[in-house]
């Protein structure tokens, strides 16, 4: 599945660079960086990407099948990471909807999927799947130190390249299963919000219970007044209660 791997010592953002050149590279192209000066997270946040500390990579997808929402790709990538860490290091990783990879409630990394139109093929969407993991120990600036952690804080002898290979292998399999909508069962197993009480940080925020996560990656919640809501917005954050 993977075609080209380009590895950079230091660049702005693997997602940004891959988006810029998406039309000239095939599906399965991987960009890796040792450091990102403008690592991006979801909702316009920065993703701290210091040299030698993490795994920062992006994969280019040019799906030939209909993908209704990038939520499903995000979820596949999150499951790929959670499974890889579980298999290699036997740790109980969780996914906080939709894209946060957590261990003991602290964030180890996240996924940022971006989509666009290829310059020369106005019909076909491409997706850039950005995966960022805090691998080696680092001092996070406040307030990140309250919410972020690293793999090395819990695991000895972490090897970020072995981790990258495991994640990419898992992702190739899960991506192939996207067309059949079978990806989301493992997602439920790793999800920390499935059948949990959450606070939806919308405007205004509200408390809710997560009844289901559907094959499109959407959250089905029941509010305290017993009304139901389907959440699919990338702009909404949630907090476990
Ligand atoms: C998030 O936690 O909100 C998403 C973080 C995604 C970070 C990765 S690192 C590789 C790729 N390049 C970026 O600029 N961001 C993603």
Contact 6, 33 (CB under 8 A): no
| Nearest atom of ligand 1 to the alpha carbon of 33 | 10
Average pLDDT of the chain is 91
Listed range (116-125, 161-170, 184-193, 203-212) with the worst mean pLDDT: 116-125
pLDDT at 165 over 60: yes
The residues spanned by each domain of the chain are 5-190, 197-240
The structure's pTM equals 0.94
- What distance in Å separates the CA atoms of residue 219 and residue 43, rounded to the nearest whole number? 18
The pLDDT, as a whole number, for residue 8 is 98
Query: Of 29, 24, 39, 96, nearest to 59 (Cα)?
Result: 29
pLDDT at 233 over 80: no
- What is the average pLDDT across 174-195? 87
- Cα of 50 vs centre of ligand 1, distance in Å, is 12
232 band by pLDDT with thresholds 50, 70 and 90: confident
The pLDDT, as a whole number, for residue 66 is 74
Over residues 75-95, the pLDDT tens digits come to 999 999 999 999 999 999 999
- What distance in Å separates the CA atoms of residue 176 and residue 2, rounded to the nearest whole number? 13
- Cα of 36 vs centre of ligand 1, distance in Å, is 10
- Cα of 202 vs centre of ligand 1, distance in Å, is 22
pLDDT at 140 over 70: yes
pLDDT at 235 over 80: no
pLDDT at 118 over 70: no
The pLDDT, as a whole number, for residue 234 is 62
Residues in contact with ligand 1 by the CB-under-6-Å rule are: 13-15, 36, 39-42, 45, 47, 49, 56-58, 99, 110-112, 130-132
Which CATH code fits 197-240? 2.30.30.100
* Residue among 112, 127, 129, 131 whose CB has most ligand 1 atoms within 8 A, to mutate: 112
- What distance in Å separates the CA atoms of residue 10 and residue 201, rounded to the nearest whole number? 34
Domain 5-190 in CATH 3.30.300.250? The answer is no
| Nearest atom of ligand 1 to the alpha carbon of 42 | 3
ipTM passes above 0.95: yes
């Amino acid at each position: 599945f993977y075609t080209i791997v380009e590895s950079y010592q230091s660049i702005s953002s693997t997602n940004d660079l891959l988006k810029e050149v998406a039309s000239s590279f095939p599906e399965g192209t991987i960009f890796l960086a040792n450091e990102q000066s403008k690592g991006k997270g979801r909702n316009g946040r920065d993703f701290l990407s210091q040299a030698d500390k993490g795994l920062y990579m992006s994969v280019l997808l040019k799906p030939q099948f209909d993908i209704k929402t990038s939520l499903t790709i995000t979820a596949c990538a999150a499951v790929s990471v959670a499974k890889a860490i579980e298999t290699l290091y036997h740790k109980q990783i969780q996914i906080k909807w939709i894209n946060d990879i957590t261990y003991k409630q602290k964030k180890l990394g996240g996924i940022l999927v971006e989509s666009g139109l290829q310059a020369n093929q106005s019909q076909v969407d491409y997706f850039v799947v950005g995966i960022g993991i805090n691998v080696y120990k680092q001092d996070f600036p406040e307030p990140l130190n309250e919410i972020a952690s690293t793999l090395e804080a819990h695991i000895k002898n972490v090897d970020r390249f072995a981790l990258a290979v495991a994640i990419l292998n898992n992702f190739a399999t899960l991506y192939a299963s996207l067309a059949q909508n079978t990806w989301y069962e493992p997602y439920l197993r790793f999800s920390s919000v499935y059948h949990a009480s959450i606070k939806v940080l919308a405007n205004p925020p509200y408390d809710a219970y997560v009844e289901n996560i559907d094959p499109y990656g959407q959250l089905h919640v029941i509010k305290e007044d017993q009304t139901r809501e389907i959440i699919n917005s990338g702009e909404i954050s949630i907090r476990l209660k």
